[in-house]
Structure 1
Amino acid sequence: MVEQSKTVDTSRKVVNILGIRGIPAAHGGFETFAGRLAPYLVEHGWTVNVYCQESGKADYEDDWNGIHRIHISSDAIGSKGSVVFDRKCVADVCERPGIDLVLGYNTAVFNTLQRLRGRKVLMNMDGVEWRRDKWSFPVKIWLYANEFIGANISNVAIADHPEIARHLRRHGCSNAVMIPYGADRIESAPESLIERYGLKSGQYLISIARAEPENSILEIVSAFSSKKRDIKLMVLGNFSPDNAYHCKVRAAASDDVVFPGGIYEPEVVSALRYHALAYLHGHQVGGTNPSLVEALGAGNPIIAHDNRFNRWVAGDQQFYFDSQSALEALIDQIGSGLDLKQAGAAAAARHQAEFTWLKVNAAYEALLRTCL
């Protein structure tokens, strides 16, 4: 167990957050979520411990904005480093009081120790990771096994989308509950933050996603680049010259496609969303995707891949495509056939109804209370 820097609050309202790299968030949906939930819980009388990954340092503890951070070292890199970190976190948390909130199931095999110790474990089950084409067969087997373990050893399995909850119940998890991801409402943003990229408000489309085939990035870029446009397309994300798919996307792009790389300044990303004409979302699988929820919070009209995941999140008043040609036709209608103003208002209303941080955090706090 890590040497504790201060006396740990042993009252019943203690929650330990595991499964993330740490807070404050550099990037990542779970890290961002933990960075919003933890302060909310502190304000509501909880002692919150958050596990944070360190590289090449001794284990230590500190406090940040009323949150107790437990820094665990892991010298290994990549996936191996994450596995080592998760294992060490589980070993440490078993010696502490509190309810354990585990974000993600990728190493759920280790979380069985918490249940064997009689601890209460709530686990956010993320998406159906083992279905993703990007994983090799051995990795898919690992993810499938850990999804099954996580769903069945946790006291409560949390799904961020109704379809994920149904998937878990079909596989024998009767205790699944649904709490979606959240996002801030963006009602203004400095236009100066987008000018550095050669953009003007309302004169570009935006896509924010990992450049992977299942996110339809090639289809989005190809559909937009099929003809000369009076607007630009902003594609946020990292593109490597050593990745064949990334090279294919860049080769398909017209001169009006902007590739700024990864942008991790929240205020800049918010401004890019807010001033966009519409948001293009190509995700074909997953649950409540953070980027789509954030687009709703920005009041963006949505043009999304047509599947049950995206339709539940964005609602029926947005625009959907099931092929590259269908997407091209929708882009052609911008400025004429598509009522973007109505879609933008519907997006903001959908966000307010389901995806505010206040609503999401309150749901988690209420769930934690049931475990006391």
Structure 2
Amino acid sequence: MRIAMIGTRGVPARYGGFETAVEEIGSRLAAAGHEVRVYCRSAEERLAIYKEMRLVHLPAVRHKVLETLSHTAVSVGHLMGRRTDVALVFNAANAPLLPLIRAARIPVATHVDGLEWKRAKWNGLGQRYYLAAERLSVRWSDRIIADAQAIQDYYRERYGVPSVMIPYGAPIQERCDEGLLRGEGYEPGGFHLVVARFEPENHVDLIVEGYARSAARLPLVVVGSAPYAEEYSRRIARTADGDERIRLVGGVWNQDLLDAMYAGCATYLHGHSVGGTNPSLLRAMGAGAPVIAFDVVFNREVLGGSGVFFGDAETLAEAVENAEKQPDRERERGVAGRERARHEYTWDDVAARYERLCQDLRARTPR
């Protein structure tokens, strides 16, 4: 099959969950003999081929509201002039462009992501747009892809439509590169970790506040930044100011180091609340990190019985203190999380499901 993957920043994956999914799924589909074309936003490194996928680099308007849709519009224009059997569109925000793909008689599935309209970065107009985009995705997609059971339930209950539930996968780490960690100044098992974009619904400010209130001895390492949320970033910095235990290290783009940090942390603190199956959470589970997560249905669905949950600064402070008091119990939780990831969230299985979905789309199996 000739498969196009549209709507993300592209590959190599250096930003978020969509990009990781495109790389992991697309490379496996390409290795299975399919022709995979990935549309990428213009970058300094313009590879023509990456992991057997064909890359198409096109421009985008650098603006938080217009960036995704502008790039997808140019990508769809390119797509319509190429022979394509199936289009996989990521992000419901791209829904207004689906009729053009349908007009070209290309079957299309839309990965709707989480409940984007709930994100605080969107004002009233942005929220209304994303709600409208949800409705248009339902109307104009041949298939809807949900990455969590709770998202599938939401689309069935709100719009009365079925969807295909395909989660993300989790890379499994059996060991930690302790030499790399120590070389960067981190003691294996000697720090708590946060990895997140600085957005209100990821609750980085709440995690930093809760940790600051705690009597924890091990430092808190916060990995992340905010391209469009300067005030929120300043709020986090103000909360951390004066507490020598809190280290705001910005982005970590060395994937080997980031993997070692996941595998070598005492706990991984996860604050995401409006997405579905979160890739950073799965990466932490696959690395055997004991997870303390914000208490929402998505995180409980993924973690099962391996998680500890918080809802405010006080409960997070208590959870961190308890983790330091009972390190053996935390290691057991980490092992349980890794085993859950190993059996429930594998990229090979995820890619196989996407392959079956594409085969159904090409055959025009009714939804």
What is the TM-score with the length of structure 1 in the denominator?
Answer: 0.90
CA distance in 1 between counterparts of 2:303 and 2:144 reads 24
2:99 matched to which residue of 1? 112
Residue 36 of structure 1, CA deviation: 1.2
Q: 1:303 aligns with which of 292, 314, 321?
A: 292
8 A Cα contact 1:38 1:67, kept in partner? yes
User: Could you list the per-position Cα deviations for residues 278-336 of structure 1 after superposition, in whole angstroms to 9, with x for gaps in the alignment?
Assistant: 11111222211111111111111111111111000111232111221111111121233
Distance 1:174 1:228, change over 3 A: closer
In structure 1, the partner of 2:301 is 312
* Aligned with 1:52 (options 21, 27, 40): 40
Q: Offset of 1:42 from its aligned partner?
A: 1.5
1:162-196 CA deviation, whole Å, 9 max, x = no partner? 11111111232523111001121012232233235
The answer (yes or no) to whether the contact 1:162–1:178 under 8 Å persists in 2 is yes
The one-letter amino acid paired with 2:289 is: N
Alignment partner, residue 279 of structure 2: 290
Residues 113-262 of structure 1: pairs in structure 2 closer than 5 A: 113-238=100-225, 243-253=230-240, 254-262=243-251
Return the alpha-carbon distance in structure 2 between the equivalents of residues 212 and 65 of structure 1. Answer: 32
Counterpart of 1:25 in structure 2 is 13
Letter of the aligned partner of 2:16 in structure 1?
G
The structure-2 alpha-carbon separation of the partners of 1:152 and 1:171, relative to structure 1 and needing over 3 Å to count, comes to farther
Relative distance call for 1:61 and 1:215 in structure 2 (3 A) is: closer
Q: 2:77 corresponds to which residue?
A: 91
Q: Which blocks of at least 5 consecutive residues in structure 2 are unaligned?
A: 363-367
Structure-2 separation of matches of 1:117 and 1:41: 23
| Cα RMSD, aligned residues only | 2.3
1:239–1:261: 8 Å Cα contact kept in structure 2?
A: no
C-alpha distance in 1 between matches for 2:184 and 2:94? 40
Determine the C-alpha separation between the residues in 2 that align with 1:64 and 1:262. Answer: 23
**Contact between 1:27 and 1:264, CA under 8 Å: does it hold in 2?**
no
| Whole-angstrom distance in 2 between the partners of 1:95 and 1:158 | 25
Q: Which amino acid aligns with 1:204?
A: F
2:89 is aligned, of 96, 99, 102, to 102
User: Is 1:77 matched with 2:62?
Assistant: yes
Structure number with greater CO (CA < 8 Å, separation at least 6) is: 2
Deviation at residue 228 of structure 1 after TM alignment: 4.2
Distance 2:228 2:44 in 1: 30
TM-score by length of 2: 0.91
> Larger % of helix: which?
2
Q: Which residue of 2 aligns with 1:327?
A: 316
Give the number of equivalent residue pairs: 357
The letter of the residue matching 1:77 is: R
Is the 8 Å Cα contact of residues 17 and 100 (structure 1) preserved in structure 2? yes
- Determine the C-alpha separation between the residues in 2 that align with 1:70 and 1:243: 32
Counterpart of 1:371 in structure 2: which amino acid?
L
The unaligned stretches of length 5 or more in structure 1 are 1-12
In the alignment, does 2:342 pair up with 1:352? yes
Kindly provide the amino acid, as one letter, of the partner of residue 318 in structure 1.
G
